[in-house]
Amino acid sequence: MKIEDLLLFPEQVVRPQRQTSGEGDFARCLEEALKGTSTKGAAEIAGVDSVTHPTSLAGRGASPQEMLESTLGRLELFQEALARPDISLRTISSLVDGLEEDSRRLQTLSESLPASSPWRQVLEEAAALSWVECFKFRRGDYV
């Protein structure tokens, strides 16, 4: 069909009906989320506690999804810590140690998966990203 053929059709605008049953859900969820974060301290929200005492959810026997989420969470904390000038590089060093361990675990897990597994490539890429960030930190790129 060509554009000229479409111009011959009469204009009919069909607008979808609004669903009013879930209209206040977003506002309610937003309020609950804001109330939940307002009770936390500023250091906890910014992830300072996680940087100084990183916890690894990526233990042996954890599922690929849990390990991946843990590593991505640690990478996000790493990014936030680098952006804050009040956090020393020595403090971030413990986070980098955790990233290196996560990278090794992800690589080991990806090698144990069959080649046809959809998790294999994702885990390998996350392991490589973690290792590269650790290498760049140790090399001094973030000084």
Burial class (CB in 10 A: 0-12, 13-18, 19+), 99: buried
Query: How much is the pLDDT for 15?
Result: 54
Query: How much is the pLDDT for 104?
Result: 93
Q: Is residue 79 part of a domain?
A: yes
pTM above 0.85, yes or no: no
**75/129 Cα distance (integer angstroms):** 9
Q: Is residue 4 part of a domain?
A: no
Q: Is residue 97 part of a domain?
A: yes
Q: Is residue 131 part of a domain?
A: yes
3-state secondary structure (DSSP) of residue 22: coil
38-93 confidence digits (pLDDT tens): 333 333 334 445 444 444 444 456 788 888 999 999 999 999 998 988 888 888 88
Q: Is residue 105 part of a domain?
A: yes
Domain that includes residue 126, residue range: 42-139
Q: Is residue 118 part of a domain?
A: yes
Q: Is residue 76 part of a domain?
A: yes
Q: Is residue 47 part of a domain?
A: yes
From 97, 101, 107, 98, select the one nearest 127 (Cα to Cα).
107
Query: How much is the pLDDT for 38?
Result: 38
Q: Is the pLDDT of residue 22 over 60?
A: no
Query: How much is the pLDDT for 52?
Result: 43
The encoded tokens of residue 119 equal 């998790």
Domain count, the chain: 1
